[in-house]
């Protein structure tokens, strides 16, 4: 077990080191721009990626707040498309599983919104279809990817790509990605709010 554990952690760390700080900053800026301009953020995936999508939506919505009890604090408009199982299962049953995210986006998506697809292979048909729809509607598209990046790597405006053929470590990495992003965004939001208060007090 010790050797297996060490090898697992070694490969995880090696893969994480291949993701550049510039890629993280680009995505953080897309998300901060959406927050500042009251745009919506939609996140989705399958299996373990669905779990990460739910977690990400929670962290982006609640974890970036300075004071959860302050009803005046500007918040992210964020939704995980995995979480309404009544809608999800109805679409899968009555239309096609490949359309479960496309159909939900048709209810909500507007130009300038942000769509985040999570897929280790980068080839999940329902995620790819949703990214294509989003691009056609002039939304910003982000991919959390693994393996070779799949079809999504070329489709998305920005990607975080963990380049290894291990579903387990890809899913580990994707959760680390969202934690890093939401932690960074929390700090940047505090700076933005502090600067806004300073400008207001000085009349600038």
Alpha-carbon span 48 to 46, nearest angstrom: 6
Q: Name the average pLDDT for the chain.
A: 94
98: DSSP letter: G
pLDDT digits (tens, 9 = 90+) for 147-188: 999 999 999 999 999 999 999 999 999 999 999 999 999 999
Give the pair of three-digit tokens for residue 54. Answer: 């739910």
Q: What is the pLDDT of residue 45?
A: 98
Alpha-carbon span 54 to 125, nearest angstrom: 19
Residue 52 has pLDDT above 60, yes or no: yes
Q: What is the pLDDT of residue 196?
A: 67
Q: What is the pLDDT of residue 67?
A: 87
Alpha-carbon span 177 to 138, nearest angstrom: 25
Residue 200 has pLDDT above 70, yes or no: no
The closest alpha carbon to 78, from 96, 92, 62, 66, belongs to 62
pLDDT digits (tens, 9 = 90+) for 96-143: 999 999 999 999 999 999 999 999 999 999 999 999 999 999 999 999
> Per-residue pLDDT averaged across 5-11, rounded?
94
Q: What is the pLDDT of residue 197?
A: 64
Superfamily of domain 24-64+75-192: Glucose-6-phosphate isomerase like protein; domain 1 (3.40.50.10490)
Q: What is the pLDDT of residue 202?
A: 64
Alpha-carbon span 85 to 30, nearest angstrom: 28
The closest alpha carbon to 43, from 140, 138, 111, belongs to 140
pTM attached to this predicted model: 0.93
Alpha-carbon span 69 to 20, nearest angstrom: 35
Beta-ladder partners of 142: 116, 158
**Residue 203 confidence class, pLDDT cut points 50, 70, 90:** low
The closest alpha carbon to 143, from 168, 170, 166, 169, belongs to 170
**Residue 46 confidence class, pLDDT cut points 50, 70, 90:** very high
Counting runs of H as helices and runs of E as strands, what totals does the chain give? 8, 5
Best mean pLDDT range from 72-76, 97-101, 189-193 = 97-101
**Residue with the two structure tokens 């970036």:** 64
Q: Where are the domains of the chain?
A: 24-64+75-192
Over the Cα atoms of the chain, what is R_g?
Answer: 18
């Amino acid at each position: 077990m010790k050797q297996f554990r060490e090898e697992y952690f070694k490969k995880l760390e090696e893969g994480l080191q291949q993701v550049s700080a510039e890629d993280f900053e680009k995505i953080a800026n897309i998300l901060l721009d959406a927050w500042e301009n009251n745009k919506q953020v939609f996140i989705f995936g399958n299996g373990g990626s669905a779990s990460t999508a739910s977690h990400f939506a929670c962290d982006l919505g609640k974890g970036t707040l300075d004071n959860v009890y302050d009803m005046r604090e500007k918040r992210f408009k964020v939704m995980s498309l995995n979480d309404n199982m009544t809608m999800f299962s109805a679409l899968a049953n009555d239309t096609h599983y490949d359309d479960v995210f496309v159909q939900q986006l048709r209810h909500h998506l507007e130009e300038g919104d942000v769509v985040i697809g999570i897929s280790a292979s980068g080839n999940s048909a329902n995620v790819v279809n949703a990214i294509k729809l989003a691009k056609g509607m002039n939304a910003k598209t982000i991919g959390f990817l693994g393996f070779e990046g799949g079809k999504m790597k070329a489709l998305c405006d920005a990607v975080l790509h963990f380049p290894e053929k291990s579903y387990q470590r890809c899913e580990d990495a994707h959760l680390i990605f969202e934690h890093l992003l939401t932690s960074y965004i929390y700090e940047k939001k505090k700076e933005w709010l502090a600067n806004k208060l300073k400008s207001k007090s000085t009349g600038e």
